[in-house]
Amino acid sequence: MNKERLFRLRQSLLLLATAGIWGVAFVAQSVGMEHVGPFTFIAVRFALGALTLVPVILLQNRQSHKGAVREGEMTDRRARSGRVLWTGGILCGTALMIASSLQQFGIMRTTVGKAGFITAMYIIIVPILGIFTKRKIRPHIWLCVLIAVAGLYLLSMNGSFVLQDGDALCLACAFVFAVQIMLIDHFVDRADGVRLSAIQFLTASVLGTVMMLIFEKPSWTAVQNAGIPILYTGIMSSGVAYTLQIIGQRGLNPTIASLIMSLESVIAAVAGFLFLHQIFTGRELAGCILMAAAIVLAQL
């Protein structure tokens, strides 16, 4: 096996690890909310995510100092990008907080497997939203939309044309995640990705804290009881998985990268079965297969 193939294999395995961490996070979110409210979970989770990225940022700063020709040159560069960085981070963080809130409330009312598959529809929603930014939609995307809608019907509507509450919240979450992805796409070429993510996590945590203080009665005991799920989603799902995504996508075809990461929906379903003993009916399983097919077809 030549070096190029080994490199691609390594990158693919890193992204598969990312998808695995994100998929299991659905279980952690479900278990964590047995002890704390959704906003408390969000506030603490993203605070940990931001803290996890601090060592990465410090390492980047050290490398920047070594690579800079002149200190003044580096300072000027930072000053020019600072406003864009904070604007992007705050906008992305606001979208992340809204999407995560919808997801948290959705998971309280549905299974983690269904939540994973419905949330993964952002892969299809993103190109549709691209219409508003004058991006062309490939014809087969519309076919993917029809397949995904058919899958969603089988998975969530139980013979009626009304979405179940939890599934509707997860679908709304997928739309907001699509907006967040488009915001990241807009800002990531204008600012450092790791710093952008750290500010995004910080913003989501601050907003989550405000909502927590208004609508919930947090206690340190409750946070301790939800400690393992919070630590997992904060450190692993936010900080570690994001870093793995950055490393894994480097030099890899973005289409292949997106396809590998979309496997989080399948892993969420498997994790829900293994850890929470949640199973699909035959109808729901058919819906999952159709939605997975639509996600894969959208990437081909």
Please say if the pLDDT value at position 286 is more than 90: no
pLDDT for position 32: 92
Average pLDDT score over residue span 58-78: 60
- pTM beyond 0.85: the answer is no
CA pair distance 30, 26, nearest whole angstrom: 6
pLDDT for position 203: 96
CA pair distance 25, 268, nearest whole angstrom: 8
Is residue 211 very low, low, confident or very high in pLDDT (cuts 50, 70, 90)?
very high
- Domain tally, the chain: 1
Averaged pLDDT of the chain? 82
Is residue 75 very low, low, confident or very high in pLDDT (cuts 50, 70, 90)?
low
Residues 6+ apart with CB under 8 A from 183: 88, 91, 92, 95
CA pair distance 12, 267, nearest whole angstrom: 16
Q: Which residues span the domain enclosing 57?
A: 3-299
Radius of gyration (C-alpha) of the chain in whole angstroms: 20
Residues 6+ apart with CB under 8 A from 6: none
Average pLDDT score over residue span 49-66: 80
